[in-house]
Amino acid sequence: MANETEVKVPDIGGANQVDVIEILVKAGDQIDVDTPLITLESDKASMEIPSPLAGTVSKISVKTGDKVSEGDLILWVTSDKAAEAPKAEPVAEKPQAAPAASEPAKTTATASNKAQTIEVAIPDIGGATDVDVIDVLVKPGMVIEKDQALATLEGDKATMDIPSPYAGTVKEVKIKLGDKVSQGTPLVVLDAEITNETAVETTPVAPEAAPAKEEMNKPVDVPAKPETPSSVSDNYASSDIISAGPAVRRLARELGVELNLVKGSGRKTRITKEDIQNYVKARLSEKPVAGGFNLPSNPVIDFSKFGEIEAKPLNKIKKLTGMNVHRSWVTIPHVTQFDEADITDLEAFRKAETEQAKNSGFKLTILAFVCKAVSKALQVYPQFNASLDATGEQLIYKKYFNIGIAVETPNGLVVPVIKNTNQLTVGDIALEMARLSTKAREKGLMPADMSGGCFTISSLGGIGGTAFTPIVNSPEVAILGLSRSSIKPVYDHGEFKPRLMLPLSLSYDHRVIDGAEAARFTRLIGDYLSDIRKVLL
């Protein structure tokens, strides 16, 4: 004869007014013993409440957002049998990680301790081989818990901690910092405590994926799949966005995984530890690709609700420029060095030569002198005339001196390149600059006109500003920005004198160039511009 049984909140370690964050069943569902019914979240952890009997859910008396305590009614279950799980086995009193046996024990098992020496090896890491050991987190004699990190590995795309599948005492560490390991490489030797009692305590707390009985009884030779609540406090995202327990969230943080990128395989797409591990394995086995930064996408905003708008598509040049500067910004550690050059005498010389330059068919600008000064400085500091190779392990020094000049056009920014500036006079550079600028504005630049650059100059002097941070034009390692020159009082030989000062802004790749080198390089350019005769030496 069918009877209806009340299922109440069991002993939850004395916690009161615990939030119901998820309802895992609905009226009419057929459930088994230990089927998760609801998920509760306290100040310290979240936990699933399993069913003490099998049957059919007839009515649910709680809803998401309710606060419950021990003894509060959860739901009614209609069953043909009395409760199948002894009430003496409540949810674990304190939500903390407990060592699990390699096979979960039945609740009727007699608790007994069994010490066993176990060699723990590197588990499946997605087929990656010769992965670097960048941190060894345990040492002989250390007592560890199940899922405690043993070592940190670093592949081409990510780093991951290797957790222990058992609790126990570390007897021997088989690896050291700097080793290269693959799946199956011995990691540590443990004196592990395998207890049936541990399995009894762990089993009532429902595993994240609620696996079938046969799956739960499989031997464990990699980090255990069932997840137990963690005592670490977490900021829990709402279940309709990301469904994951505290231990899973802790593991994700340790591995640097964004949960919104992981597809959950548990009940109602709940994310399990196995999902996190599989995601990391997949990332470790991926080949490096440009732009893989897991950056959050821009939110979709309806601007029309604030007023009238007009949408215009970006042209191809702006799209390509945007892609390139974004890649440079997120892949290059930028630092900007600011300085000033006294160009009082240089400006006087330029003005004196303006008419002759005009007769020769070009306009003599300060930018042409700067280009020549930079070309000379690159010969003194060759690390600025270099590029990192694709592996990031070699610096390629260039024996040629090609300088790109950023040019504004109606369609966007382009950077034509003046070739072999070390072999050109200032007049030659001015002529070539005028030719390329005209081609740029008339949309006549060819790919060859914009390739092969070693260093870039971006001048905003004709517009204004006192300084800015130009973005390095990868694969170059530095870029010089010029702002508007202005008259400033400069203290010289006991008195202040009005001097024309040109602001210099040098951005550089800190992986290649140190701050002191950048300061010397910028100062040398300033010295050349203060006395252009030094370029001839």
Question: Which CATH code, of 3.40.50.10540, 3.10.450.50, 3.30.460.90, 3.30.559.10, is assigned to 317-536?
Answer: 3.30.559.10
Round to whole Å and give the CA distance between 429 and 443: 21
Round to whole Å and give the CA distance between 492 and 102: 81
The one catalytic residue in 326, 334, 493, 510 is: 510
Mean pLDDT of the chain: 81
Provide CB contacts within 8 A for 82, sequence distance 6+. Answer: 3, 5, 53
User: Would you state the pLDDT for residue 86?
Assistant: 43
Phi, psi of 425, deg, nearest 5: -80, 170
User: Would you state the pLDDT for residue 521?
Assistant: 98
User: Would you state the pLDDT for residue 155?
Assistant: 62
Round to whole Å and give the CA distance between 403 and 426: 13
Q: Would you place residue 113 in the very low, low, confident or very high pLDDT band (cuts 50, 70, 90)? A: low
Please say whether the beta carbons of 44 and 95 come within 8 A.
yes
**For residue 374, how many other CB atoms are within 10 A of its CB?**
26
User: Would you state the pLDDT for residue 15?
Assistant: 77
The pair of structure tokens assigned to 269 is 């797409």
Domain limits, the chain: 3-79, 113-285, 317-536
User: Would you state the pLDDT for residue 263?
Assistant: 87
Q: Quick: pLDDT tens for 175-232.
A: 998 899 998 899 999 988 765 444 433 333 344 443 433 333 344 343 433 343 333 3
The pair of structure tokens assigned to 303 is 């601007």
User: No. of H helices and E strands in the chain?
Assistant: 9, 27
**For residue 204, how many other CB atoms are within 10 A of its CB?**
19
User: Would you state the pLDDT for residue 354?
Assistant: 92
For 3-79, CATH number?
Answer: 2.40.50.100
The pair of structure tokens assigned to 519 is 């300061």
Phi, psi of 277, deg, nearest 5: -65, -40
493 has catalytic annotation? no
pTM of the model: 0.49
For 113-285, CATH number?
Answer: 2.40.50.100
More confident residue, 351 or 135: 351
Round to whole Å and give the CA distance between 208 and 185: 29
More confident residue, 266 or 203: 266
**For residue 451, how many other CB atoms are within 10 A of its CB?**
13
Round to whole Å and give the CA distance between 126 and 187: 17
User: Is the Cα dihedral 488, 490, 496, 498 positive or negative?
Assistant: negative
Hey, do 113-285 and 317-536 end up sharing a CATH topology, with the first three levels equal?
no
- In the predicted structure, residue 375 carries a pLDDT above the cut 80: yes
Please say whether the beta carbons of 404 and 470 come within 8 A.
no
The pair of structure tokens assigned to 130 is 């010769």
In percent, how much of the chain has pLDDT > 70?
A: 78
CA atoms within 13 A on the CB side of 488: 14
Provide CB contacts within 8 A for 172, sequence distance 6+. Answer: 140, 188, 189
Q: Quick: pLDDT tens for 75-103.
A: 999 976 544 444 434 444 444 443 433 33
| Among the ranges given (28-37, 127-136, 169-178, 444-453), the one the predictor scored with the smallest mean pLDDT | 127-136
Round to whole Å and give the CA distance between 384 and 375: 10
Q: Quick: pLDDT tens for 446-469.
A: 888 999 999 999 999 889 999 999
